[in-house]
């Protein structure tokens, strides 16, 4: 009976884990973002890099957080200034944010220094040119981290509580304007270009959301990803889970 019980536990762990095939990538980063087939990241000195072939290519500029997706390449620097990559140059965008995300369908989002939540509708996001105004839409609630996909946005607050905003679209980046609570605790969360949701908790463990679809954007449950090291940041795109360890090592895992 004891052996049967152990076998049952092992089977349950295998069923609820997410198998990974991983390789370490040279270089060290503190934050990474993957979307639309591209990968960008920043290191501890706020230097910017993009994956080019099998190696990292340095991108001029200085950012503390960078994001790439259908909305283009966006970032914020250490003074919370907002930038968009326009024809190879960083164009400053009016406003102040500490974190931004370009994963929404043609719209950008972010949170500021006091956790206020904002998004920029598709026309303003995609058509932005240097010197244009930025008509940020203020969304109710407080979040410390905010990420969007094709049909929903997700965020976590300063208590690590998780929320989803449904009904988002390019012309209505605020969606329903009503945050729905999702059970669980995460310190950061990322939504991929295809709507998959991954996150990291305060203990450095990785989770993904099972059962997400256009008909059920909230999914069904959290499942822990089996990974041996502690993690600070993740991003997922096109079957690859990019992992930043607490030691800033970069790992590319095929899911």
Compute the distance between CA of residue 217 and CA of residue 254 in angstroms, rounded to an integer.
23
Give the domain CATH number at 78. 2.130.10.30
Cβ atoms within 10 Å of 19's Cβ, excluding its own: 10
3-state secondary structure of 13: helix
Does 148 reside within a domain? yes
Q: Which residues have a Cβ under 8 Å from the Cβ of 228 and sit 6 or more positions away?
A: none
Does 139 reside within a domain? yes
Beta bridge partners of 83: 75, 92
Give residue 38's Cα distance to chain centre: 13
Could you tell me the pTM of the whole model?
Answer: 0.91
Does 10 reside within a domain? no
The answer to whether the CB of 197 falls within 8 A of the CB of 234 is no
Does 226 reside within a domain? yes
Does 8 reside within a domain? no
Does 132 reside within a domain? yes
pLDDT in tens, the chain (255 residues): 344 333 333 333 333 445 689 999 999 999 999 999 999 999 999 999 999 988 999 999 999 999 999 999 999 999 999 999 999 999 999 999 999 999 999 999 999 999 999 999 999 999 999 999 999 999 999 999 999 999 999 999 999 999 999 999 999 999 999 999 999 999 999 999 999 999 999 999 999 999 999 999 999 999 999 999 999 999 999 999 999 999 999 999 999
Q: What's the pLDDT at 1?
A: 38
Cβ atoms within 10 Å of 199's Cβ, excluding its own: 27
Does 13 reside within a domain? no
Backbone phi and psi for residue 121, each to the nearest 5 degrees, phi listed first? -60, 160
Does 181 reside within a domain? yes
Beta strands in 125-227 (DSSP E): 137-142, 145-148, 152-156, 161-166, 180-185, 188-191, 197-200, 206-210, 221-225
Q: What's the pLDDT at 53?
A: 85
Q: What's the pLDDT at 19?
A: 64
Looking at the 3D structure of the chain, how many domains does it have? 1
The answer to whether the CB of 102 falls within 8 A of the CB of 70 is yes
Determine the structural domain holding residue 50 and report its residue range. Answer: 21-254
Q: What's the pLDDT at 38?
A: 97
Token look-up 């240097």 returns 130
Q: What's the pLDDT at 20?
A: 84
């Amino acid at each position: 009976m004891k052996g049967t019980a152990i076998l049952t536990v092992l089977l349950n762990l295998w069923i609820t884990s997410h198998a990974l095939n991983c390789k370490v990538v040279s270089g060290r980063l503190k934050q990474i973002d993957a979307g639309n087939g591209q990968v960008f990241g920043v290191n501890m000195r706020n230097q910017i890099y993009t994956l080019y072939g099998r190696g990292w290519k340095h991108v001029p500029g200085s950012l503390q957080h960078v994001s790439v997706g259908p909305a283009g390449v966006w970032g914020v620097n250490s003074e919370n200034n907002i930038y968009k990559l326009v024809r190879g140059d960083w164009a400053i965008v009016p406003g102040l944010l500490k974190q931004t995300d370009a994963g929404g369908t043609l719209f950008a989002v972010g949170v500021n220094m006091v956790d206020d939540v904002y998004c920029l509708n598709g026309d303003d996001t995609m058509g932005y040119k240097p010197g244009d105004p930025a008509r940020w839409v203020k969304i109710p609630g407080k979040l410390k981290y905010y990420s969007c996909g094709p049909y929903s946005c997700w965020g976590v607050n300063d208590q690590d509580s998780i929320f989803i905003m449904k009904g988002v679209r390019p012309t209505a980046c605020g969606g329903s304007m009503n945050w729905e609570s999702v059970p669980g605790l995460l310190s950061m969360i990322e939504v991929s270009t295809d709507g998959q949701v991954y996150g990291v908790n305060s203990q450095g463990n990785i989770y993904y959301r099972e059962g997400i679809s256009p008909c059920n954007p909230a999914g069904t449950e959290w499942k822990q990803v089996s990974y041996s090291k502690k993690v600070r940041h993740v991003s997922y795109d096109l079957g690859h889970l990019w992992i930043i360890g607490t030691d800033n090592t970069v790992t590319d895992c095929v899911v």
